[in-house]
Structure 1
Amino acid sequence: MRKIILKILMLLSAGILIPSYALAQEGKTFKLISYNVYWGMRQDSTENKSRFAKWIKQQDPDILALQEMNGFTQQNPEFAPKGSNPDNLQKFAESYGHPYVFIVREPAPDGSVSFPVAITSKYPIVNVTRVVENASHGFLTAEIEGHHFVVTHFHPFSSEKRGYEVDQILATVKSKPADWKWLFMGDLNSVSPLDKSGYDNNLLRDFIREDRKKRPHNKNLGKDDELDYTIQQKILDFGFIDAFKVSHPQFVPSAPTKLFYDQSTFPLRYDYLYVSANMKNDIVKCDIIKDDFTDIYSDHYPVLLIFKK
């Protein structure tokens, strides 16, 4: 180990960057992926979603946060509605090397779709809370290896309801010890003021205005009938760091993929990975994963974060 450390110091002193994967191999980092997988991986007809499991094995994350896990049950298929064919989250996660799993809610008895969020991990997940009240798709809080996670999926068609959801999560974080390290992630269905230049052409705003004529429930604009930046601004004002923006100041969309996207035909970033201010220097790498698999598997691209332990 001492030889390895000396070698790393020599490389750093020579100005040579060390790949994040090399640090991970030495047990220095965690790899996290957050992914809205679209209607419980509806595009994947393989048994036990083996197509997705194969891709995840290649990515080899330590922790995986998932949104839209429709049709999945924690462990027991008997909790699922009669006549349904649920996927066992425990069995599924074990197929890609994650023995620890939590989902925010079981399938509804009446078969209605609730778009639950879930988290899986190589390491034990402890101190879990599941919140479904005042949260359209629910949110999970959990602790893994001393880090605290929030996984959520905000309301897709109401800026007002997203405001209630973010307030509830931030109040939850505020109620905990100030020195905790937090990671806050998911499909937040809202635009960031850090991306404002990407929306200055008004194409997204105009699309939403036009879409509202067909779907009156689309209330995604703010009170001034413009794009609503207030949701993300609250998170930033709280002190969270947008991990992606640390190394990508330019606008990079997380949707649509080459599959489709029903809320806009124009580029947008709705998928976020935030870290608390005391983790800013722990960020090693944050990217949106765009490859042949993610191009067509979901309507969102996943976000990757590598951070120091």
Structure 2
Amino acid sequence: MNILQYNILDGCKTLNRYQPFLNWLGEQNYDVVGFNELNDWTESEFQREMEKCGYPYCCLFEMESSPYFIGIASKSPITKINRIEESPFHHGMLHVKINNINFIVTHLCPFESERREKEAEALAKYILPIQEPVVVMGDLNTFSPLDRNHYKFDQIMERERRAMQHIRNGEINYLPMKILLDAGLHDANSSEKFDYSMPTEIHQLEDPFYTRIDYVLVNELLLAKKPSARMIRSSEVAKLSDHYPIECEWKD
């Protein structure tokens, strides 16, 4: 099985991104694709365009609490759907079941890390009773303790927005991701080489700060299938969003 997770930046709605994004997606061959930031998409549009790309089954979570919609598209039927947008979830949580695998797509708070701690706790509590394979994927807006050697405190403090997002009590706050890892989830993209997910080339930054905040996490039952994930950094996707997509593959 081969899956993709993609934050497409404000719905990818600009003229120079919308059709190139759909063209790129239509050329790929994934079984399941999860999305963040489906801003201004409608259910009918999502269904129509995903069908053109080869994904006849899909679910768009049009939240009332956030314009940053989340969604999932699949080649196989979706048999279970649960949507949560109540607190503490900042951009909601979407749970579907495809081919006996539970897929949870979410987009954690981009602001204070303390808010992400609460979201992570809610996620950990939610997945606890699921005795089936689980995938949690999305823009989690948090640094991982597995990347501790990459991040430098002073480097983050030099960037006001990053400091607001990731510094708590005078140190880098890895707790949101630690909560998820301690809950039995495993980072499918953890490796010795730092595989950053942003920034891309879209904003042409003079002093880019490379971070990994997009993840595919799996529980023990799915870990047995030896999933392997990596960021896709091609010249095409570098101009579609400020995030690179992440793909994950495992054998059934």
- How much has 1:147 moved relative to structure 2? 0.3
| Structure 2 residue aligned with 1:172 | 126
| Structure 1 residue aligned with 2:69 | 116
Q: Are 1:58 and 2:10 an aligned pair?
A: no
CA gap of 1:197–1:44, structure 2 versus 1, over 3 A, is: farther
Once the two structures are superposed, what CA deviation does each residue of 1:90-125 show, in whole Å capped at 9, x if it has no partner? 00101101111111225x5xxx96201100000011
Distance in 2, Cα, partners of 1:233 & 1:44: 39
Distance in 2, Cα, partners of 1:201 & 1:222: 8
Distance in 2, Cα, partners of 1:221 & 1:287: 23
Structure with the larger RCO, 1 or 2 (CA within 8 Å, 6+ apart):
2
Judge conservation of contact 1:90–1:100 (CA < 8 Å) in 2: yes
| Structure 2 residue aligned with 1:297 | 240
Any unmatched runs of 5+ in structure 2?
none
1:56-135 counterparts in 2 under 5 A? 56-75=25-44, 88-105=45-62, 114-134=67-87, 135=89
Once the two structures are superposed, what CA deviation does each residue of 1:13-54 show, in whole Å capped at 9, x if it has no partner? xxxxxxxxxxxxxxxxx11000000000034457xx432222
Q: Are 1:162 and 2:124 an aligned pair?
A: no
Distance in 1, Cα, partners of 2:70 & 2:121: 18
- How much has 1:221 moved relative to structure 2? 3.1
Distance in 1, Cα, partners of 2:2 & 2:26: 12
Judge conservation of contact 1:70–1:113 (CA < 8 Å) in 2: no
| Structure 2 residue aligned with 1:226 | 171
Amino acid at match of 1:104: F
Q: Which moved more, 1:270-279 or 1:160-169?
A: 160-169
- How much has 1:69 moved relative to structure 2? 0.3
Judge conservation of contact 1:195–1:250 (CA < 8 Å) in 2: no
| Structure 1 residue aligned with 2:215 | 272
Judge conservation of contact 1:205–1:227 (CA < 8 Å) in 2: no
- How much has 1:206 moved relative to structure 2? 2.8
Judge conservation of contact 1:126–1:143 (CA < 8 Å) in 2: yes
| Structure 1 residue aligned with 2:154 | 202
CA gap of 1:219–1:294, structure 2 versus 1, over 3 A, is: same
Distance in 2, Cα, partners of 1:266 & 1:240: 27
Look at both structures and tell me which one has the larger radius of gyration over its CA atoms. 1
Distance in 1, Cα, partners of 2:176 & 2:157: 16
Any unmatched runs of 5+ in structure 1?
1-29, 76-87, 213-217
| Structure 2 residue aligned with 1:254 | 197
TM-score, L = length of structure 2: 0.92
Amino acid at match of 1:163: E
| Structure 2 residue aligned with 1:18 | none
Distance in 1, Cα, partners of 2:227 & 2:128: 26
Amino acid at match of 2:147: D
Moved over 6 A (4+): none
- How much has 1:211 moved relative to structure 2? 3.7
Judge conservation of contact 1:90–1:99 (CA < 8 Å) in 2: yes
Distance in 1, Cα, partners of 2:26 & 2:57: 15
Secondary structure, aligned partner of 2:150: helix
- How much has 1:253 moved relative to structure 2? 1.0
CA gap of 1:276–1:60, structure 2 versus 1, over 3 A, is: same
- How much has 1:200 moved relative to structure 2? 2.9
Once the two structures are superposed, what CA deviation does each residue of 1:65-110 show, in whole Å capped at 9, x if it has no partner? 00000011112xxxxxxxxxxxx1100101101111111225x5xx
Amino acid at match of 2:164: K
| Structure 2 residue aligned with 1:187 | 139
| Structure 1 residue aligned with 2:99 | 145
TM-score, L = length of structure 1: 0.76
Once the two structures are superposed, what CA deviation does each residue of 1:140-199 show, in whole Å capped at 9, x if it has no partner? 0110000001100001012121112111111111133x3x10000000001000001110
Matched-pair identity in %: 29
Judge conservation of contact 2:95–2:102 (CA < 8 Å) in 1: yes
- How much has 1:286 moved relative to structure 2? 1.3
